[in-house]
Structure 1
Amino acid sequence: MADKIEIAAETRTEFGKGSARRARRADKIPAVIYGHGDDPRHVLLPGHETALAVRNPNALITLDIEGDEQMVVPKDIQRDPIKPWIVHLDLLAVRKGEKIVVDVPVEVTGDPADGYEYMLDQPTVPVEADALNLPESIGIDITGLDENALPDALILPKGAELALTDLESPIVSIYEPQEVELEEDTEEEAAEAEGEGEESAAGESEESGDEESGDSE
Structure 2
Amino acid sequence: MSAPEKIAAEPRTEFGKGAARRIRRDDKIPAVIYGHGNEPVHVILPGHQTMMALKHGGANALLALDIDGSEQLALTKDVQVDPIRRVIEHVDFVAVTRGEKVTVDVPVHVVGDAAPETLVVTENAVVSVEAEATHIPEYFEVSVEGAPIGTQIHAKDLDLPSGTTLLADEELLIVNVTQQISAEALEAELEEAEAEAGIEHEAPESEDAAEGAEAAAADAAEGSDSE
Q: TM-score, normalised by structure 2?
A: 0.78
Q: What secondary structure sits across from 2:116 in the alignment?
A: coil
Which residue, 33, 57, 60 being the options, matches 2:59?
Answer: 57
- 1:14 aligned onto 2:17: no
Check conservation: 2:31, 2:92, Cα contact below 8 A.
yes
For 1:132, what is the secondary structure of its paired residue? helix
The question of 1:175 aligning with 2:185 is answered no
**Structure 1 segments of 4 or more deviating over 4 A?**
199-206
Matched, 1:86 2:88: yes
Q: Which amino acid in the other structure matches residue 176 of structure 2?
A: S
In the alignment, what sits opposite 1:189? none
**Residue equivalent to 1:98:** 100
> Paired residue for 2:123?
121
Deviating more after overlay: 139-148 vs 151-160: 139-148
Q: Which residue of 2 aligns with 1:110?
A: 112
User: Contact 1:141/1:153 (CA < 8 Å) preserved in 2?
Assistant: no
Following superposition, the deviation at residue 146 of structure 1 comes to: 2.2
Decide whether the 8 Å contact of 2:155 with 2:169 is kept in 1.
no
The aligned runs of 1:35-50 (5 Å cut-off) are 35-50=35-50
Aligned-partner residue type, residue 77 of structure 1: V
- In 2 relative to 1, CA 116–25 (structure 1 residues): closer, same or farther, beyond 3 Å? same
Cα distance, 1:201 vs structure 2: 4.7
State how many pairs are aligned: 201
> Aligned pair in 2 of structure 1 residues 105, 203: CA closer, same or farther (>3 Å)?
closer
Structure 2 unmatched runs, 5+ = 189-202, 223-227
Q: Is the 8 A contact 2:3 2:134 kept in 1?
A: no
Amino acid at match of 2:208: E
Cα distance in 1, alignment partners of residues 87 and 60 from structure 2: 18
Query: By how many angstroms is 1:98 displaced?
Result: 0.6
Larger mean CA deviation between 78-87 and 117-126 belongs to: 117-126
Give the aligned CA root-mean-square deviation in angstroms.
Answer: 2.8
Q: Residue 49 of structure 2: SS of its match in structure 1?
A: helix
The 1:203–1:72 alpha-carbon spacing in structure 2 relative to 1, beyond 3 Å, is closer
Larger Rg: 1
Q: Deviations over 1:134-165 (max 9, x none)?
A: 11111222232422322222221121122224
C-alpha separation between the residues in 2 aligned to 1:204 and 1:87? 62
1:38-74 C-alpha deviation (Å, 9 max, x unpaired): 1111111111111111112322211110111101111
* TM-score of the two chains, using structure 1 as the length reference: 0.81
SS at structure 1 position matched to 2:135: coil
Give the letter for the 1:30 counterpart. Answer: P
Q: 1:198 corresponds to which letter in structure 2?
A: D
SS at match of 1:49: helix
Asked whether the equivalents of residues 71 and 94 of structure 1 are also in contact (C-alpha less than 8 Å), the reply is: yes
